[in-house]
Amino acid sequence: MRVIADLQLCQGHGMCEDTAPEVFRVVESEDGSYPHVEIVQPEPDAGLEEKVEEAVRACPNRALSLE
């Protein structure tokens, strides 16, 4: 499992971080506009799959995908 973020769609709402903080972190942007996601574990540890899938679904902007 590999997690990919489309930063053109991300607005940093943080639903992913709220759901699976082991994998996603929301960081401030340099220009002070929307924060954005940083994928801490692009290939999540075994056992996190379900949480990560839930986080991907929870994104209101469909900015996250799995491959």
Partner 1 sequence: MTDQPRPKIVSGAKPEIGHYEEFMEHAAHFLYRAYLECGELAEFDLYGAKHVLLASPDAQEAVYRAGEDEVSASAPYQYMVPVFGEGIQYGAPLEIERQQVRFMSDALKPKRMKTYAQMIAQEVEDYIADWGDQGVKEFHDTFKELVLRTSTHCLMGAEFRRRLTDEFGVLFEQLEDAISPEAVVNFKSEAEAFAKRDEARARLQEMLMQAVEERMAWKGEPPTDMLQSFLEARYKDGTGLAPELIPGMIVWIMFGGFHTSSNTAAWACLELARHPEYQQEVIKEVDSVYGHGEDLSFTALREMPVTEGFVNETLRLHPPLCTLMRQVVNQPFEYKGNVFEVGTNLVISPYVSHRLPEHFPDPERFDPHRPQPEHLFALIPFGGGKRKCVGNAFAFLQVKSILTALLSRYELSLVDPPETYREVMPSLILRPSHPCNLRYTRRQR
Considering the complex, state which of residue 1 and residue 14 has its C-beta at the smaller distance from partner 1.
14
- Residue closer to partner 1 (CB basis): 41 or 61: 61
User: Which spans of this chain sit near partner 1 (rule: CB under 8 A)?
Assistant: 8-9, 11-15, 18, 30-35, 57, 60-62
Nearer to partner 1, 8 or 46 (CB): 8
Smallest gap from Cβ 49 to partner 1, in A, equals 17
Rounded Cα–Cα distance for residues 21 and 51 (Å): 9
CB 24 to partner 1: min, Å: 12
What is 5-59 written as a DSSP string?
E-TTT-----HHHHH-TTTEEEE--TTSS--EEEES-SSPPTT-HHHHHHHHHH-
